[in-house]
Amino acid sequence: MTLIIEPCGLDRKPILMNLYPLYLHDLAGIRGVRPNRHGVFEEEDDIRTLQEQQAEFAIWWEKEGLLFPYLIVEDGLPAGFALVASGPYAVDGSEFTLQEFFLLRPYRGQGRAERAACEVFRRHPGRWALFTTASERNAGAVSFWRRTLLGAAGDGGYEETDEDMEYYGFGKLFRFRIGEALSRASAPPAARAADAARRAGSPPASGFAVRPAVPADLDALAELDALVVGHGGRREALAAYAAAGCCLVAEREGRLSGCAAWDRSFFGRPFLQLLIVHPGERRTGIGRRLLQSWLERGPGERAFTSTNRSNEPMRALLEAAGFEPSGIVDHLDEGDPELIFSRMVASDDPV
């Protein structure tokens, strides 16, 4: 039996949404709440169906780099999920907040939940917070988190307080830190090998590699571009970027999963013109990795890029990468201005 944590992309969003009502049913038993008059676990009666309830969770797939939905999978079957928030969506001044964590009843016991939680923490080193209901009915969960955090937080331990928090109510708030070294040391052997490969400059065997584009990539690049933008009119531009050494591709198992292309047409400054990720590979870190790889090529310079105001996933990705607003251009797309972002990349910036 192999339990793994996988990013939940849009293509697998329905799986997580199918599990969510089971999670709410568990919470109802702990908190003593009942469904609304339509049979949906919501406080208000204006939510009449599960589809309407699920619409409220679209944000988890719109804020790339800030919100991280994960599926917990065992032997290819969904066993649960975890929702991790960061940036402005984290609570209590933390860098990361475990908003929701759920394991189906057939998978509970034998340490599965603890392993899954520790793997989620390991993926995001930094200051963490999680909140759980403080009641006799939830004593098992409180004990579980105390036990799990003793192992996950290492020598730093954790802080536990009773808090009355907005939107959450009264409960137990756990604060703890996951360090980079501890994160690597506590990882499973396969994850440690992948991390060592990444730090050595080679891709994990089961992950994706980022490399400069070569002429042989042109057909696949054009096909990916057409899939994402709906037309194939940028083939010549892609060929020019690749020929100039200004194009990176992300490759997984021999297939192109994304690309980044740039030039110096913006007042002689490095400007990211394209950042494309295959729809089936989104929310897996490819966009973030491509952006970082591009930044690493311009130490000591201010890097620029732009996106439409309506492109919230790209804006969230740039925000998470430390970009700041640098201007706005109206009338390119009426009603949807182009927002310009920039970031200074220091010569010693690890990006």
Look up the pTM and report it.
0.54
Q: Convert the pLDDT of each residue in 50-104 to its tens digit.
A: 777 677 788 888 887 788 899 999 988 999 999 999 888 888 888 999 999 999 9
Rg (CA), the chain: 22
Task: For the chain, give every domain's residue range.
Answer: 3-198, 208-345
Please, are residues 93 and 123 in contact by the beta-carbon 8 Å criterion? no
**pLDDT tier, 201 (very low <50, low <70, confident <90, very high otherwise):** very low
% of the chain residues with pLDDT over 90: 35
Q: Do domains 3-198 and 208-345 have the same CATH topology?
A: yes
The reported pLDDT for the residue numbered 1 is 60
One CATH from 3.40.630.30, 3.30.1340.30, 3.10.310.10, 3.90.1150.10 for 208-345: 3.40.630.30
**pLDDT tier, 276 (very low <50, low <70, confident <90, very high otherwise):** very high
In the chain, count H helices and then E strands: 10, 14
The reported pLDDT for the residue numbered 326 is 95
**b (16+ CB within 10 A) / e for 212-248:** ebeeebbebbbebbeeeeeeeebeebbbebbeeebbb
Window from 40-44, 200-204, 231-235, 297-301 with minimum mean pLDDT: 200-204
- Residue 30 to residues 3, 20, 47, 162, Cα–Cα distance (Å): 26, 16, 22, 17
Fold of 3-198: Aminopeptidase (3.40.630)
* Tokens representing residue 197 in the block: 């490969």
The reported pLDDT for the residue numbered 182 is 45
